[in-house]
Amino acid sequence: FADDGYRLWLKYDRLADATVRSGYARSTQFIAVSGSSPVLTAATSELQLGLQGLLGPTVPTLARAGTRQGGIVLTVGVSGADANGLNEEGYRIVKRQGNIVVMGKTDVGVLYGTFALLRQVQTGQPLDNINLVSSPKVKLRMLNHWDNPNGTIERGYAGGSLWKWSELPETIDPRYKDYARANASLGINGTVVNNVNASPRLLTGEYLQKVAALADVMRPYGIKVYLSVYFAAPKTLGGLKTSDPLDPQVRKWWADKTAEIHRYIPDFGGFLVKANSEGEPGPQDYGRTHVDGANMLAAAMKPFSGVVIWRAFVYKADPTGDRFKAAYEEFTPFDGQFDPKVIVQVKNGPIDFQPREPFSPLFGAMPKTPLGIEFQLTQEYLGFATHLVYEAPLFKECLESDTYAAGKGSTVARVVDGSLHGYRNAGPTQTLMAGVANTGSDRNWTGHPLAQANWYAFGRIAWDHTLTSAAIADEWIKMTLTRQPQAVSHVRAMLLRSRDIYVDYNAPLGLSRPWTGVHFAPEPWQNKSPRPDWTAVYYHRADSIGLGFDRTATGSNALAQYRPDVRRQWENVDNCPLPYLLWFHHVPWTKQLATGRTLWDELCTRFYTGADSVRWLQQEWALAKPAIDPALYTDVVGRLATQHREAIWWRDAWVLYLQEFAKKPIPKPFKQPE
């Protein structure tokens, strides 16, 4: 069979080198498992599957190792020094009495340890003196699916929904388990199965049975199921006259519904809510606030362990306002008022998943409210499933940004992992990273085979945000594509540069949102819409003088939402870093930039070199060819060709449009588009 990408990074193909294989086989001759639970069974069968695939021999399981050596021991419940540095989900792997011991405080910790052990073999690391300790830095690591009950996916580019609602609960597609395995291998421990533009239907008994069947598949892999909820459900489903969160009947309806959900799914994860955003109903429809809405759901959740995740993606249509400022203005006044069960989920940037955004000013501005971060894995603004954009550098750039909320070193990562403000929720720290899933029913899950790396990178970073983009890329390539060193370095180079290349031909120097409609075709000229902030001209503000959105004190003053140290980095047009320049300044076409070029010449340089660099991606891919599965290789060749054609299309659309304002020639050596 050709490699169809279905097995993701859990391929477990036989290692080519027989000596290497027998080396690993000597220390993995048996698996001793003390105790039993569905999670331990999942861990054991994964080890058996993986080791047999990678090495050859079948690996027997035993109840205890006794005096035997040369095997793997899975141990739940650690104490003393072994417990140092381990939280509830962490693992420790050590060599002890001739065996490899994988231990955790819980069986889920052991499960994560087994995947880590397999990763060692898959990426060619030695096991002899293995000594690994790892605990997740963030507690809730989850995927958000924007899947609708009719099988479509909002902003999905890899086929239809994975969930076959019409077949559930009786028929369990084997794919659900493979989905759970892939997530568990990364440490992802939650999945919101339906779109935040939520259908109330998911809350009916009929659908709850189906969701419960999914939860049963996820449970042995440490994954909890969550639901997005439609705020007006008391009216539409319950037949009440109102969905006012302060109305006693509404509150009772949610309390009853939450209890009902728990009869189907006892370990239900919780609710995700998009309220009063883009036309969705919410507490403001009744003159109430985000706090009233979120705390009402938290009250319904009180008897249970679940959480309420309330999204901060809000922006009103204000023709004279700056959408950049909306979420901060609407949420910061409520800091400290949310119930401890509530987490506010904030998109990485202030606008909407653009190719490059500054971090959202909410991070660091709500010290008394647990803030989760939301990234988008599905490439809504990153070229769908045809453009190669490895997103780890985007995630890291945001997480490593310094908010200065409590002095230097107050990174977004430290806000999100709770270490900066010490978020607490009934004891344990409540922290969250969410990724809008890029999975679908396509055989290879993500459409673009290399987009699997974004799912992988998100999971790894949610577990440990200190991992580097390059290290994650290396792991993924070796587990998924090839271990041949030259090929690994070609693909790694492609992945690491891909995001900057995309930014250059699509939205350089801090431009954003040159699209309308489906968010794909370039339309920087688009100026008609029911709301100003749904036009393209609103964002780039091109005129005869220059380009960019003045967000300094002479403009919208959105910069005032950041701490002075952050503001200082960006407020001066003469030294604002170029990637953020047009986010904050309206810059004259003739202004000389740090590169020595004028704004106009610099823009042209970026658009042209960006589009040309897709050729470079094609060359690197060609150099990796001998080490890559032929079918997968050819698939990516096709996508890169499309990407090149579309990069030129985007370049030309921007350049020709902006030229009407700049009234300057395209600099040599670039050629005028025909």
Q: Give the Cβ contact number of residue 377 at 10 Å.
A: 25
CB of 271 to ligand GCW, least distance (A): 15
By beta-carbon proximity to ligand GCW, the closer residue of 449 and 522 is 522
Catalytic: 674? Answer: no
Per-position x/- string for 73-92, each x denoting binding to ligand GCW as judged by CB under 6 A, each - no binding: --------------------
Beta bridge partners of residue 99, listed in sequence order: 96
Which one, of 459, 480, 442, 462, lies nearest residue 175 by Cα? 442
Q: Specify whether 329 is catalytic.
A: no
> Of the listed 278, 543, 565, 660, which one is catalytic?
278
Query: Which CB, 176 or 353, lies closer to ligand GCW?
Result: 353
Q: Is 351 helix (H, G, I), strand (E, B) or coil?
A: coil
Token code pair at residue 333 = 């006044």
9, 24, 146, 324: which one binds ligand GCW (CB under 6 A): 146
Among 226, 353, 463, 607, binds ligand GCW (CB under 6 A): 353
Near ligand GCW in 629-648, by CB under 6 A: none
Nearer to ligand GCW, 380 or 391 (CB): 380
235 binds ligand GCW (CB under 6 A): no
Which residues, other chains included, contact 649 with Cβ-Cβ below 8 Å and sequence gap of 6+? 522
Site string for ligand GCW, 294-323 (x = CB under 6 A): -------------------x----------
Least spacing, CB of residue 102 vs ligand GCW, in Å: 38
| C-beta of 5 vs 524, nearer to ligand GCW | 524
> CB 611 → ligand GCW: shortest distance, Å?
25
Q: Looking at beta carbons only, is 349 or 449 nearer to ligand GCW?
A: 349
Answer for the pair 15, 21: CB distance below 8 angstroms, yes or no: yes
Q: Which of 330, 352, 417, 629 binds ligand GCW (CB under 6 A)?
A: 352
Q: Which among 503, 515, 607, 591 has a CA at the least distance from the CA of 547?
A: 591
Q: Interior CA angle at 201 toward 197 and 205, to 5°?
A: 140
Give the footprint of ligand GCW on residues 267-296 (CB under 6 A). Answer: 274, 278
Among 6, 34, 37, 154, contact with ligand GCW (rule: CB under 6 A)? 154
**Which residues, numbered 107-126, are part of the site for ligand GCW (CB under 6 A)?**
none
Minimum Å gap between C-beta 226 and ligand GCW is: 15
The residue from 244, 292, 380, 500 that contacts ligand GCW (CB under 6 A) is 380
Q: What is the closest distance, in whole angstroms, from the C-beta atom of residue 9 to ligand GCW in the complex? A: 27
Strand-pairing partners, residue 91, are 104, 134
400 makes contact with ligand GCW (CB under 6 A): no
Query: d(Cα 530, Cα 465) in Å, to the nearest integer?
Result: 40
CB 516, min distance to ligand GCW, A: 11
- From the number of C-beta atoms within 10 Å of its C-beta (0-12, 13-18, 19+), residue 596 rates as exposed
Find how far residue 673's CA is from the centre of its chain.
37
Distance of CA 274 to the CA centre of its chain: 17
Percent helix, strand, coil in the chain, to 5, is 40, 10, 45
d(CA 399, CA 40): 33
Structure tokens at 401: 């940004």
Cβ proximity to ligand GCW, 502 vs 515, nearer residue:
515
Residue number, 112 or 146, with CB nearest to ligand GCW: 146
Per CB under 6 A, does 324 bind ligand GCW?
no
Question: How far is Cα of residue 528 from the mean position of the Cα atoms in its chain?
Answer: 32
> Which phi and psi angles does 453 have, rounded to 5°?
-65, -25
The active-site residue, picked from 244, 380, 571, 620, is 380
**Calpha distance 387→239 (Å, rounded):** 46
> Which contiguous run of DSSP H or E holds residue 298?
helix 290-301
DSSP 581-620: HHHH--EETTPBPTTSSBHHHHHHHHHHHHHHHHHHHHHH
152 binds ligand GCW (CB under 6 A): no
- In whole angstroms, give the CA distance from residue 84 to residue 39: 23
Of 190-229, binders to ligand GCW (CB under 6 A) are 196-197
Phi/psi for 311 (5° steps) reads: -80, 145
CA 26, 30, 31 angle in degrees (round to 5)? 130
The separation between CA 501 and the C-alpha centre of its own chain, rounded to angstroms, equals 20
- CB-based closest residue to ligand GCW: 352
Indicate the residue among 256 and 278 with the shorter CB distance to ligand GCW. Answer: 278
Which of 352, 417, 533, 629 is flagged as catalytic? 352
The least distance separating ligand GCW from the CB of residue 379, rounded to whole angstroms, comes to 11
Residue 604's closest CA among 671, 515, 512, 516?
671
**Residue 503 C-beta: closest distance to ligand GCW, Å:** 18
Question: In whole angstroms, how close is the CB of 438 to ligand GCW at the nearest point?
Answer: 14
**CA gap 228, 206 in Å, rounded:** 16
Residues in the chain: 674
Per rule CB under 6 A, count of chain residues that contact ligand GCW:
11
- Nearest approach, Cβ of residue 534 and ligand GCW (Å): 10
Residue 645 CB, shortest distance to ligand GCW, in Å, is 24
Tell me whether residue 104 or residue 435 sits nearer to ligand GCW (CB atom). Answer: 435
> Is residue 539 at the binding interface for ligand GCW, with CB under 6 A as the rule?
no
* Minimum CB distance to ligand GCW smaller for 272 or for 624: 272
**Which residue number, 196 or 593, has a Cβ lying nearer to ligand GCW?**
196
Residues with Cβ within 8 Å of residue 242, at least 6 apart in sequence: 234, 235, 249, 250, 286
Tell me if 387 sits within 8 A of 643, measured CB to CB: yes
Whether 646 sits among the annotated catalytic residues: the reply is: no
Based on CB atoms, which residue is closest to ligand GCW, 3 or 147? 147
Q: What is the Cα–Cα distance from 523 to 333, expressed in whole angstroms?
A: 36
Nearest distance from C-beta of residue 560 to ligand GCW, angstroms:
25
Helix (H, G, I), strand (E, B) or coil at 191: strand
Q: What is the DSSP string of 101-146?
A: EEEESSHHHHHHHHHHHHHHHHTT---TT-EEEE--SSSEEEEE--
Give the one residue of 155, 210, 323, 478 binding ligand GCW; rule: CB under 6 A: 155
Summarize as ranges the residues that interact with ligand GCW (CB under 6 A).
146, 154-155, 196-197, 274, 278, 313, 352-353, 380
Residue numbers annotated as active site: 278, 352, 380
